[in-house]
Every structure is written in structure tokens, then in C-alpha cells.
């Protein structure tokens, strides 16, 4: 909802969030360095540094990946989701320290360009166990760099929400490469089954949370697929709570039908900011407010109130008795549709 | 394969180098042409968009050309 | 009618239910991070004892040797030991050897005594030195008679171990073996640092061999693909002063997959 951009928007709750991130990073790092000086005094400083930041990035990535499903299971965690980009940028910085120091340590001051050496030192690309695991880490770091550097709303607007979202969905590809990077790298040296077990557990937690929330979301959707007919039955008015919405799927698009002040309006469910589910939002001060980042749209025309410029598609509705009917054909973004009145509120 | 990787890394460096030059211009002048919201923003906002511009300069350049 | 709390991120403060969720999330995260950190520290592989005297230059005086590798035979704690010499970064120190040759006026290495300055690298049994300053490392060359190197044959043997880059292994990095260190070791050996076969006996390393070809010449290029993985080398073993050498007939090198505590399980042949 940018008119003019700010570098980083900090308010009280964002500051509290960032303090949480800083405490996470500092407590782990302090423990790791002090722990090594006591338990492993022979470890060199660079080794501790590389391991500390590699592990921190790996652990923070797990936290980042469970936030999405967590917020779906319990909306109270939206507060964590909203500032996830700060956690993401922090995670990238940790990964970058790990990557840069590893390249400096293992590949610099040699007979080959350090970055070329990452790809050319170990050439066993056809082997699984001997695979050059650093290459996987490098590509994952590139993805994380793309995500971190485009996390500002400027990029969301100028790359377009769909491109931006697909770029940021690449976090799952990065996660897969990082898991392989760890399994084919660190776990080849660190042979304790406890560590392999933890990596497996982390993967299982993330995978199952995503599957559970995916199934839950799927069952919430009511698909009405009849694009040819003029109006299709969507739901009953009593199914929608005041100032809230019911999400239905018509012609493959998810549509949110909002009820407010004895009226009904329907808009496309996809928030133009980051694709948040508008139908899980609420009408605040007369505007549909996205649960993810608070972007707002007027229910009757799907437009963000001026000076903002975001628009979503709107739909024609009609009410017959208690039944709500929807015209599956979307109207162009920002088209004004008179809200339909519910007979007995 | 060794040669291919070697060339690919060189191309990557050249890409980043162009990105670095482009991003300096983009932060100072280009971004404003692409997005009105950039006008009047402080220097630290411009600093924040530089790393992304280094990596994605080619997309920004295409968007700028298309806009013109 | 609808009194449910609803979260709006751009507002200054958040409703108490959300604040509670944030607190819960961060406290659990910190606990998880700390628990993981402690677990990791407890199960992490032990680090071998080795040192790199970074930032301090030490002078060593003695006899220069160039077989099987460039080194200086010097007295340490009342014992004569061969300290192999490497260059700065991931390179050999052969340019310095060449410079010593040039400055020794045609004399053999058994006829001169050289003082070299560099950064020492050591573990419990072996010492190495990095000639950090290149040709500036040559402090003094004077005349002195030394005896020839003491070389004895130990017959043909097959030895299982790991080819490491000794510069990192004996102290510059820790740990400096196995998969994580592999690409670094490849870089070092590619840069001329002499490959060493390190033999592991359970938790610790017990024995070391320089790896050369049948004629005792450097074999760096040929061993690159076997670095940092378990290997089995066959060849004539020789004892040269306080070091051992295995002279490998290179096409018959083989890699084996084993884990350090268990038996050899699998053999792969090379070429």
C-alpha cells in the first residue's frame, strides 16, 4: 500500500519482534562459542564461526517455514507471519556469513578463482555420497539472496505480486538443496545418529505441518464449478458471520463473499500484496482488511481507498430467500457492484 | 565440463558487474522512472533497493524499456 | 457482534492474544535453539590437537632437504626432526627452495646450513612450517657439513587411510579431513602442497606417509580425485629420516569406502 516508500517500517510490535530475533541469534552464538572454548578447545575460530552461522541459518529456516502453517492453524500466529521478512533477511545474513567464510577458508589463496574452485575442486557430480555438496549450498544461497534483497514492498510492486510470490516460493527449493547440502556435507563428518535424527525430524515437522494445513484448506473450499450458467448457488447467508466472509471456488478462482451492515459483496480472494487470503480477513472501518499484512479494499468495488491503488476483481451476487447466488464471471478489477441487501439482516 | 563451469562463473561475474553499475544508476535515477513511489524517498531507501537491483537488473531494465 | 481479535500488522501495538503468541513463539524458539546447541556440542566429533602459530614468526636453522619433499632438518627439544616447508596460502614453497639453490653457490645441501623464518604448524608428533614471507623467509645461509639423509626400504605394502593436505591437517584448519574439508584439500594439493596419507587408528591419527610416484616424484595431479575420501594405496614404502614415504604405482590406486571404526566394506577400482 505504498504511496511513497519507507526503508523499513518499524513500529512497537515490529521492534518487539526484532528484539526476539536478536535474542535468538545472540543466545545461540554465545552458547556455541563459549561451549566450544570449554568442550572443544582445539577447534579453530574459523571452524566455529562457519558452523555457528551455518547452523543458525539452518535452524532459522526451519522456524520460518513453520510460521506459515502455524498461522493457518492458529490465526494468533499472524503476528509472527507479518514480520517474517525480518526473520528471513536475518536468516539470509547468517547463511551469507557461513557461505562467504567457507569460500574464503576452503577456496581462497589457491591456484584457482575461489568461486570457480567451489564448482571445480570436487568433480564427482556423478556420485551421490561424494557429490560436491558446497555447490548445493551455493545455489541455495543465491535463492536466499534473491528473496532477501527483494523482500521490500518496492519489489513486490515492481516485479508484480505473482512473479514476486513465485520467486519467494523458491524457498522450498532452497530448503531441499540445503537439506542435501547438510546431509552430503556436514553429516558425512558428523556421524552421530542424533544429528541425522534431528535433521530428519525437522524435515518431517515441516512436511507434515504443510500437508495438514494444505488438507485443511482444501476441505474448507467449496467448489462450485459451473462457469456457463449465469448464477450458481454459493452458500446460505447464515453461514457468513458479520464483517467476515465465506470463501467459495468458482471457475477455479477463490472468491470471498463478505457480509456487513446487512449487505453482501464478493471479491477475488487473492490479495494483490502478497496473495494473502482476503476471505480470512475482516471488515474494518468499512474496508476488507487482509489478515496477512493489513492491505485494505472497499467491498463494493474491490479498490484500495485512495491514495492506494491496489484493485481486485469483483462479482455479481443475488440473494434468494436465505440462499446466496454468485455470477461466476469475474468483473474487471475495481468494478463497482452495488452490494446486495439481505432481507432480515 | 570444466571449461563450461569456468565460463559460466565468468559470465556470472560479468552479470554482477553490470548489475553493480546498473544498480548505482537505478538507485539514483532509474527507480524513479519505473515507480513514482520512489520520488522523495530518503537515501537509505535507495540503498535498500541496490542489492536487489544488482541481482535482478535485467528484469528492471526490460521493464524500463517496455515502459518507455 | 464480532468481538474476535483481528490482527493488523501496521498498527502500533497488537492485541494481547497476539502478543501472547509472539512471546510463546520466541520463547519456544530460543529454548529449541539452546537445546539444539547443547546437543550439538555434546555429540560433535572431537577435534584433534593441532596448532597454527598464526601471527608469530619462528626461525628454524638446519639442513635443507628436497626429498621426498622440501624441508629443513632441525633440532627440536634435543631431537633431529624434518620440518617440511610449504608456501603462503594454498601453495608449495618450491620458489624458496630454488632461491636457496641460487644463493648457495653450487654447494650441495649437505654443505650449507640455512636459517628460515616462518609460521609453525604442529600437532603432537609432527611439525611443519609455512614460509609466510616467500624469499624473505631466508634469514641466513652459511657453510656447514651435514651427513646424508638416512633412507631405508620397508618393502611393498598396502595401506588404508585418507590423503590429506598436510598444511591444513597439521594445524592450519581443524578439522581438516573427510568430506567437509575435501575441496580445500584438493585446492592445496593442486597448489603443490605434498599429499600425505594419514592413517587413523580409532579416534586418533597414528601414522603418516608422504605419497609420491614410483620414482619418488610429486604425484599431486594424479591423487586429486582421491583426496578426502578413504583410500587404499599400494607401493614401496621407504623410511627417510623421521618420515615415511609410499611410492605408489599410480594406475593401481583404489578408493575404498569404509568408516573409520569399522571394517573395509567395499572396493572400487580406479581406471
Number of Cβ pairs < 8 A linking chain A and chain B = 68
Residue B68 distance to chain A (closest CA, Å): 15
Nearest to C120 by CA among C189, C56, C197, C199: C56
Residue C4 clears pLDDT 70, i.e. is over it: no
Determine the distance in angstroms separating the CA of C148 from the nearest CA of chain A, rounded to an integer: 34
Assign C54 a pLDDT band (cuts: 50, 70, 90): very high
Q: Report the neighbours of C using a cutoff of 3 or more CB pairs below 8 angstroms.
A: A
Query: Is the Cβ–Cβ distance between C92 and C194 less than 8 Å?
Result: yes
Q: Do C22 and A284 touch (CB under 8 A)?
A: no
Q: Is A10 left (phi over 0), alpha (psi -120 to 50) or beta?
A: beta
Please say whether the beta carbons of B35 and A156 come within 8 A: no
B chain contacts of residue A8, beta-carbon cutoff 8 Å = 48
C74 vs A345, more confident: C74
Residues from chain B that touch A113, judged by Cβ atoms under 8 A, are 9
Helices A12-39 and A45-73: angle between axes, nearest 10 degrees: 140
What was the pLDDT predicted at A234? 86
- Residues of C in Cβ contact (< 8 Å) with A243: 1-2
Average pLDDT of the residues of chain C: 89
- Residues pairing with C244 in the sheet: C209, C239
The sign of the CA dihedral A262, A265, A266, A269 is negative
pLDDT digits (tens, 9 = 90+) for A132-187: 999 999 999 999 999 999 999 899 889 987 798 899 999 999 999 999 999 999 99
pLDDT value, residue A104: 97
Note whether C225 and C233 are within 8 A (CB). Answer: no
pTM above 0.90, yes or no: no
Write out the H or E segment, with its range, that includes residue C60.
strand C58-65
Structure-model confidence comparison of residues A80 and B23, the more confident one: B23
Evaluate if residue B53 carries a pLDDT over 80.
Answer: yes
> Does the structure show a pLDDT above 90 at A36?
yes
State mean pLDDT over C198-217.
Answer: 91
Comparing CB atoms, the residue among B13, B35, B39 nearest residue A154 is B35
Give the single-character DSSP code of A311.
B
Instruction: Dump pLDDT digits (tens) for A222-247.
Output: 555 554 567 888 888 888 999 999 98
For the segment C154-171, the average pLDDT, to the nearest whole number, is: 94
Task: Please tell me the distance in Å from A306's CA to the nearest CA on chain B.
Answer: 14
Nearest CA in chain A to B33: A158
Residues of chain C in contact with residue A123, where contact means CB-CB under 8 angstroms, are 225
Question: Is pLDDT of C268 > 70?
Answer: no
C196: left (phi over 0), alpha (psi -120 to 50) or beta: beta
**Strands A263-268 vs A340-341: parallel, antiparallel or unpaired:** antiparallel
B38–chain A nearest CA distance, Å:
6
Q: Which residue has the higher pLDDT, C216 or A217?
A: C216
What average pLDDT does the segment C53-82 reach? Answer: 96
Residue C30: its chain A contacts at CB < 8 A?
Answer: 23-24, 27
Please write the tens of the pLDDT for every residue from C222-262: 899 889 988 888 899 999 999 999 999 755 565 554 443 33
pLDDT tens for each residue of A113-122: 999 999 999 9
pLDDT at C267: 32
Mutate: best of B11, B48, B50, B51, partner A, most A CBs <10 A: B48
Percent of chain A with pLDDT over 90: 63
Higher-pLDDT residue of C251, A302: A302
What is the arithmetic mean of pLDDT over C166-188? 95
The residue-averaged pLDDT of C17-34 equals 95
Rounded Cα distance between C266 and C271, Å, is 17
Question: Can you give the pLDDT at residue A224?
Answer: 56
Report the C-alpha gap between C88 and C82 in whole angstroms: 19
| Residue B62 · residue B39 · CB < 8 Å | no
Q: Which residues of A are less than 8 Å from C187 in CB distance?
A: 106-107, 110-112, 117, 121
Q: Residue A162, Cβ neighbours under 10 Å: how many? A: 11
Cα A101 from chain centroid (whole Å): 28
Distance CA A147, CA A169 (A): 9
* Structure ipTM over 0.90, yes or no: yes
Is a pLDDT exceeding 80 seen at residue A105? yes
Q: How confident is the model at residue B5 (pLDDT cuts 50, 70, 90)?
A: very high
Q: Is the CB of residue A4 less than 8 Å from the CB of residue B41?
A: yes
Could you say which residues from 282 to 311 on chain A have a Cβ atom under 8 Å away from some Cβ of chain C?
A: 282, 284, 289, 291-294
Amino acid at each position: 500500500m505504498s504511496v511513497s516508500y519507507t526503508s523499513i517500517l518499524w513500529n512497537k510490535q515490529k521492534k518487539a519482534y526484532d528484539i526476539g530475533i536478536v535474542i535468538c541469534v545472540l543466545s545461540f552464538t554465545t552458547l556455541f562459542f563459549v561451549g566450544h572454548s570449554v568442550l572443544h578447545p582445539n577447534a579453530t575460530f574459523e571452524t566455529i564461526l562457519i558452523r555457528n552461522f551455518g547452523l543458525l541459518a539452518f535452524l532459522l529456516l526451519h522456524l520460518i517455514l513453520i510460521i506459515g502453517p502455524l498461522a493457518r492453524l492458529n490465526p494468533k500466529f499472524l503476528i509472527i507471519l507479518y514480520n517474517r521478512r525480518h526473520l528471513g533477511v536475518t536468516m539470509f545474513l547468517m547463511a551469507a556469513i557461513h557461505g562467504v567464510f567457507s569460500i574464503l577458508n576452503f577456496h581462497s589463496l589457491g591456484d584457482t578463482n575461489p568461486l570457480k574452485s567451489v564448482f571445480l575442486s570436487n568433480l564427482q557430480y556423478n556420485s551421490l555420497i561424494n557429490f560436491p555438496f558446497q555447490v548445493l549450498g551455493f545455489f541455495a544461497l543465491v535463492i536466499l539472496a534473491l528473496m532477501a534483497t527483494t523482500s521490500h514492498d518496492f519489489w513486490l510492486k515492481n516485479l508484480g505480486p505473482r512473479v514476486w510470490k513465485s520467486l519467494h516460493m523458491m524457498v522450498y527449493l532452497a530448503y531441499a538443496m540445503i537439506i542435501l547440502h547438510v546431509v552430503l556435507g556436514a553429516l558425512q563428518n558428523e556421524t552421530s545418529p542424533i544429528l541425522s535424527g534431528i535433521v530428519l525430524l525437522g524435515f518431517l515437522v515441516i512436511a507434515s505441518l504443510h500437508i495438514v494445513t494444505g488438507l485443511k484448506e482444501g476441505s474448507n473450499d467449496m467448489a462450485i464449478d459451473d462457469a456457463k450458467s449465469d448464477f450458481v448457488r454459493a452458500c446460505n447467508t447464515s453461514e457468513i458471520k458479520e464483517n467476515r466472509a465465506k470463501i467459495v471456488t468458482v471457475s477455479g478462482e477463490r472468491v470471498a463473499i463478505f457480509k456487513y451492515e446487512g449487505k453482501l459483496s464478493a471479491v477475488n480472494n487473492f490479495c494483490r500484496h502478497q496473495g494473502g487470503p482476503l476471505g480470512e480477513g475482516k471488515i474494518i472501518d468499512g474496508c476488507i482488511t487482509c489478515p496477512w499484512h493489513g492491505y485494505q479494499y472497499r467491498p463494493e468495488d474491490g479498490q484500495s481507498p485512495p491514495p492506494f491503488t491496489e484493485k481486485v476483481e469483483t462479482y455479481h451476487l443475488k440473494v434468494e430467500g436465505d440462499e446466496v447466488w454468485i455470477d461466476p464471471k469475474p468483473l474487471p478489477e475495481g468494478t463497482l457492484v452495488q452490494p446486495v441487501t439481505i432481507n432480515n439482516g | 565440463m570444466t571449461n563450461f563451469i569456468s565460463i559460466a562463473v565468468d559470465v556470472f561475474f560479468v552479470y554482477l558487474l553490470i548489475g553493480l553499475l546498473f544498480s548505482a544508476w537505478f538507485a539514483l535515477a532509474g527507480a524513479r522512472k519505473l515507480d513514482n513511489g520512489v520520488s522523495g524517498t530518503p537515501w537509505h531507501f535507495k540503498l535498500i533497493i541496490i542489492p536487489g537491483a544488482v541481482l535482478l537488473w535485467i528484469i528492471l531494465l526490460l521493464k524500463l524499456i517496455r515502459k518507455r | 457482534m464480532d468481538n474476535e481479535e483481528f490482527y493488523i500488522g501496521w498498527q502500533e501495538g497488537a492485541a494481547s492474544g497476539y502478543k501472547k503468541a509472539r512471546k510463546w513463539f520466541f520463547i519456544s524458539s530460543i529454548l529449541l535453539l539452546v537445546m539444539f546447541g547443547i546437543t550439538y556440542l555434546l555429540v560433535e566429533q572431537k577435534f584433534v590437537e593441532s596448532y597454527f602459530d598464526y601471527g608469530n614468526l619462528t626461525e628454524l636453522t638446519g639442513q635443507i632437504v628436497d626429498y621426498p619433499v622440501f624441508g629443513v632438518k632441525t633440532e627440536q627439544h634435543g631431537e633431529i626432526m624434518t620440518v617440511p616447508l610449504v608456501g603462503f596460502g594454498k601453495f608449495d614453497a618450491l620458489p624458496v627452495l630454488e632461491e636457496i639453490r641460487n644463493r648457495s653457490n653450487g654447494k650441495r645441501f649437505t654443505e650449507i646450513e640455512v636459517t628460515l623464518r616462518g609460521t609453525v604448524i604442529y600437532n603432537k608428533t609432527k611439525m611443519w612450517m609455512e614460509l609466510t614471507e616467500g624469499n624473505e623467509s631466508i634469514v641466513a645461509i652459511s657453510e656447514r657439513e651435514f651427513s646424508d639423509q638416512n633412507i631405508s626400504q620397508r618393502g611393498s605394502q598396502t595401506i588404508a587411510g585418507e590423503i590429506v593436505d598436510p598444511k591444513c591437517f597439521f594445524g592450519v584448519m581443524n578439522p581438516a579431513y573427510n568430506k567437509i574439508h575435501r575441496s580445500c584439500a584438493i585446492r592445496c594439493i593442486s597448489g603443490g602442497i605434498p599429499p600425505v596419507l594419514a592413517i587413523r587408528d580409532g579416534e586418533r591419527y597414528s601414522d603418516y606417509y608422504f605419497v609420491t610416484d614410483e620414482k619418488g616424484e610429486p604425484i599431486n595431479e594424479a591423487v586429486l580425485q582421491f583426496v578426502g575420501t578413504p583410500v587404499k594405496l599400494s607401493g614401496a614404502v621407504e623410511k627417510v629420516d623421521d618420515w615415511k614415504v609410499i611410492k605408489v604405482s599410480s594406475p593401481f590406486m583404489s578408493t575404498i569406502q569404509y568408516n573409520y571404526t569399522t571394517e573395509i566394506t567395499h572396493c572400487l577400482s580406479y581406471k
